[in-house]
């Protein structure tokens, strides 16, 4: 008999990092067995989840602005005879807790990043309760042990969280307080999920973690594995053409990880390695645990192992106590390394972090001026790197149709978007492309003469890890 029970509609809005993107997908996976299917917009949805990020500037203000709009959508849904369950998830939920429901009492659920495996139970409780359900503790059980094995297809490229939390306690960062202590998933669990992603069509998998190269998971042999060894095991999965990982800490780049960059063709020659500052005095104030020279030595080791490696990084302009000479040391480091891309921000205080109350706060005018100078230098370096690809031929993984008819888009080994005219049958394959030109946000190219796409068939049934 055909099941005619109407599906409930779920809309998730995601802010912030790639890990939040992964978390949103897993929340959808958790809710699918209890009848929720994706919706394109919050209007008319039976449940709306706002998955928040505390790293972004004015994150709390953006959340409450969105909640104000959703209050009207929730009232409209009720006027139609339906109900909208409204949930706030992620790092702002973890940090703000009951303050969210105090300011926005129409919110039904507030949940932290470690508790989304409990969502079906929370929804049931919210439907019975007179007040909001708040779950922002750090449960003793591993949430990954309680998530459904089946994962919704993410596409040709997919994210896989292997590590959460951070023990570094950088002065400017809220992650240790919102995501908790470092936790590494065991090898068997990671390999099983990677096989499922490949079986669902993924050809590139990016390993995620707040400090992903601090990952040390239990191996099937009962011993502790490092990230380099995990990457080697993942590279053996048939059908998995490319591997990436983010975000890393310079202190956790060990020799085995450097060797993996040398030995694994599946490991792409692009690494995001945040340095934040080029001044040892500022790095110490940030509690980064490394010096500028340490960072440069790490870069030299990586480039010796993989000469075509390109780097991106994170920078903060105007951390408390930063002087003009300190900032110039950051500019010197950028000139010496040469980055293919970067994320740069002016310092913004996060409540509860040590830097928020530190003396010698830098003026907004100085922060603005420094950030503009830094971003101009970084843009020049990124433009130069992109121009250096023109005329080169290398494999591109095609991920989907382009914006224009007859166009397909893909990713270069260095994560640059590239588009060309070609058949949709290229999607999900890797083929050699010659770069013809650069554009503001992408490259364009032409299939190389005689190029044949590489498609490796995944295992029909995921093998046990």
- Residue 75: CATH number of its domain: 3.40.50.12160
Residues 212, 227 contacting (CB under 8 angstroms): yes
- Residue finishing a domain among 90, 117, 135: 135
The pLDDT assigned to 374 comes to: 98
Kindly state the percentage of the chain with pLDDT values over 70: 90
Query: Same structural domain for residues 125 and 233?
Result: no
pLDDT value at 162 more than 50: yes
Query: Same structural domain for residues 105 and 212?
Result: no
Which is more confidently placed, 456 or 151? 151
Residue 442 lies in a domain: yes
Query: Same structural domain for residues 203 and 223?
Result: yes
Give the burial string for 404-438 (b: 16+ CB within 10 Å, else e). Answer: eeeebbbbbbbbbbbbbebeeebbbbbbbbbbeeb
Query: Same structural domain for residues 113 and 210?
Result: no
Residues 74, 84 contacting (CB under 8 angstroms): yes
Strand intervals (E) in 143-251: 157-161, 163-164, 183-184, 204-208, 216-218, 224-226, 242-246
Query: Same structural domain for residues 414 and 286?
Result: no
Lowest-pLDDT range of 16-20, 205-209, 243-247: 16-20
Residues 402, 419 contacting (CB under 8 angstroms): yes
Mean of pLDDT over the chain? 89
Give the burial string for 249-272 (b: 16+ CB within 10 Å, else e). Answer: bbbbbeeebbebbeebebbbbbbb
141 labeled part of a ligand binding site? no
| Encoded tokens for 65 | 């602005």
Of 257, 266, 273, whose CA–CA distance to 315 is shortest?
Answer: 273
Residue 376: helix, strand or coil by DSSP? helix
Of 94, 4, 103, 9, whose CA–CA distance to 51 is shortest?
Answer: 94
The pLDDT assigned to 371 comes to: 97
Looking at residue 320, the DSSP 8-state letter turns out to be: T
| Encoded tokens for 22 | 């992964």
53 labeled part of a ligand binding site? yes
Query: Same structural domain for residues 315 and 195?
Result: yes
Q: At what angle do helices 324-337 and 292-305 cross, to 10 degrees?
A: 10
Q: How far apart are CA 37 and CA 46, in angstroms?
A: 10
347: number of Cβ within 10 Å: 21
Q: How far apart are CA 204 and CA 201, in angstroms?
A: 9
Query: Same structural domain for residues 334 and 400?
Result: no
Residue 210 lies in a domain: yes
170 labeled part of a ligand binding site? yes
- Residue finishing a domain among 135, 160, 180: 135
Residue 166 lies in a domain: yes
What are the residues facing 160 on neighbouring strands?
207
Whether a cis peptide bond, with omega within 30° of 0, leads into 247 is yes
166 labeled part of a ligand binding site? yes
Helices and strands in the chain: count of H runs, count of E runs: 13, 21
Query: Same structural domain for residues 239 and 192?
Result: yes
Of 331, 341, 332, 191, whose CA–CA distance to 273 is shortest?
Answer: 341
Residue 2 lies in a domain: no
185: number of Cβ within 10 Å: 21
| Encoded tokens for 14 | 């995601």
Residue 93 backbone dihedrals phi, psi, to 5 degrees: -60, -45
Residue 21 lies in a domain: yes
Residues 6+ apart with CB under 8 A from 98: 110, 134
Query: Same structural domain for residues 170 and 289?
Result: yes
Residues 370, 346 contacting (CB under 8 angstroms): yes
Query: Same structural domain for residues 338 and 408?
Result: no
Residue span of the structural domain in which 196 resides = 145-387
Query: Same structural domain for residues 370 and 323?
Result: yes
What are the residues facing 90 on neighbouring strands?
52
- Residue finishing a domain among 135, 160, 185: 135
269-307 pLDDT, tens per residue? 999 999 999 999 999 999 999 999 999 999 999 999 999
Q: How far apart are CA 415 and CA 2, in angstroms?
A: 45
Domain CATH code at residue 246: 3.80.30.20
Domain CATH code at residue 412: 2.40.50
Residue 378 lies in a domain: yes
Q: How far apart are CA 63 and CA 104, in angstroms?
A: 10
Q: How far apart are CA 444 and CA 433, in angstroms?
A: 9
Residue 3 lies in a domain: no
The pLDDT assigned to 99 comes to: 87
Query: Same structural domain for residues 336 and 431?
Result: no
pLDDT value at 55 more than 90: no
Lowest-pLDDT range of 373-387, 411-425, 437-451: 437-451
The pLDDT assigned to 388 comes to: 97
397 labeled part of a ligand binding site? no
Q: How far apart are CA 302 and CA 175, in angstroms?
A: 27
How many domains, in total, are found in the chain? 3
Residue 246 lies in a domain: yes
């Amino acid at each position: 008999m055909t099941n005619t029970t109407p599906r409930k509609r779920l809309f998730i809005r995601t802010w912030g990092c790639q890990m939040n993107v992964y978390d949103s997908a897993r929340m959808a996976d958790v809710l699918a067995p209890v009848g929720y299917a994706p919706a394109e917009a919050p209007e008319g949805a039976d449940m709306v989840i706002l998955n928040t990020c505390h790293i972004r500037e004015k994150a709390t203000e953006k959340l409450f602005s969105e909640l104000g709009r959703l209050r009207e959508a929730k009232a409209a849904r009720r006027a139609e005879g339906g109900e909208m369950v409204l949930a706030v998830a992620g790092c702002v939920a973890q940090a703000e807790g009951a303050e969210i429901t105090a300011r926005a009492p129409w919110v039904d659920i507030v949940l932290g990043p470690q508790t989304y495996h409990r969502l079906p139970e929370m929804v049931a409780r919210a439907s019975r309760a007179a007040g909001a359900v708040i779950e922002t503790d750090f449960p003793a059980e591993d949430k990954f042990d309680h998530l459904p094995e089946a994962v919704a297809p993410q596409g040709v490229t997919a994210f896989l969280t292997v590590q959460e939390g951070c023990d570094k306690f950088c002065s400017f960062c809220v992650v240790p307080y919102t995501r908790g202590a470092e936790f590494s998933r065991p090898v068997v669990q990671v390999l099983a999920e990677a096989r499922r992603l490949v079986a669902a069509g993924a050809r590139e998998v990016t390993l995620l973690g707040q400090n992903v190269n601090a990952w040390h998971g239990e191996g099937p042999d009962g011993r502790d594995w490092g990230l380099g060894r995990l990457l080697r095991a993942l590279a053996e999965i048939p059908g998995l053409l490319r591997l990436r990982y983010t975000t890393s800490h310079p202190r956790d780049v060990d020799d085995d990880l450097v060797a993996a960059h040398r030995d694994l063709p599946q490991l792409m020659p692009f690494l995001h390695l945040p340095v934040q500052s080029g001044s040892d005095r500022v790095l110490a104030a940030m509690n980064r645990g490394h010096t500028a020279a340490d960072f440069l030595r790490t870069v030299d080791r990586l480039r010796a192992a993989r000469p075509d490696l390109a780097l991106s990084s994170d920078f903060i302009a105007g951390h408390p106590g930063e002087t003009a000479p300190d900032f110039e040391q950051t500019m010197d480091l950028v000139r010496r390394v040469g980055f293919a891309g970067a994320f740069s921000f002016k310092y913004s205080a996060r409540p509860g972090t040590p830097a928020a109350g530190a003396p010698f706060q830098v003026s907004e005018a100085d922060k603005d001026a420094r950030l503009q100078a830094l971003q101009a230098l970084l843009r020049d370096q990124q433009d130069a790197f992109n121009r250096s690809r023109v005329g080169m031929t290398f494999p591109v993984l095609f991920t989907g149709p382009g914006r224009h008819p007859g166009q397909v888009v893909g990713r270069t080994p260095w994560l640059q978007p590239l588009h060309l005219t070609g058949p949709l049958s290229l999607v999900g394959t890797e083929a050699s492309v010659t770069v013809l030109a650069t554009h503001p946000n992408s490259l364009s190219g032409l299939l190389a003469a005689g190029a044949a796409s590489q498609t490796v068939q995944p295992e029909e049934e995921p093998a046990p890890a």
